[in-house]
Amino acid sequence: MNISKTLCDRLAAILGGKGTSDGKSCSIMIERKLNAKILGRNYETEHEITIQSLKSRD
């Protein structure tokens, strides 16, 4: 089963991130705001979630 761009965008909206799909998988980037400073700078990072179809192609 392919993961459509529409489905990927829906999942990204639910998780609060931005999604990209190549048809086989959906990668969702979620920005995380941490209350931390490293060397005097605010630390921001992104968290990536990748969803792939479990149905194999034979």
Interval 7-37: pLDDT, tens = 999 999 999 999 999 888 899 999 877 777 7
Higher pLDDT, 57 or 47: 47
CB neighbour class for 31 (10 Å; exposed up to 12, middle 13-18, buried from 19): exposed
Please give the model's pTM, rounded to 2 decimal places. Answer: 0.67
56 pLDDT tier (thresholds 50, 70, 90): low
Instruction: Yes or no: say if 48 and 27 are a contact pair by the CB < 8 Å rule.
Output: yes
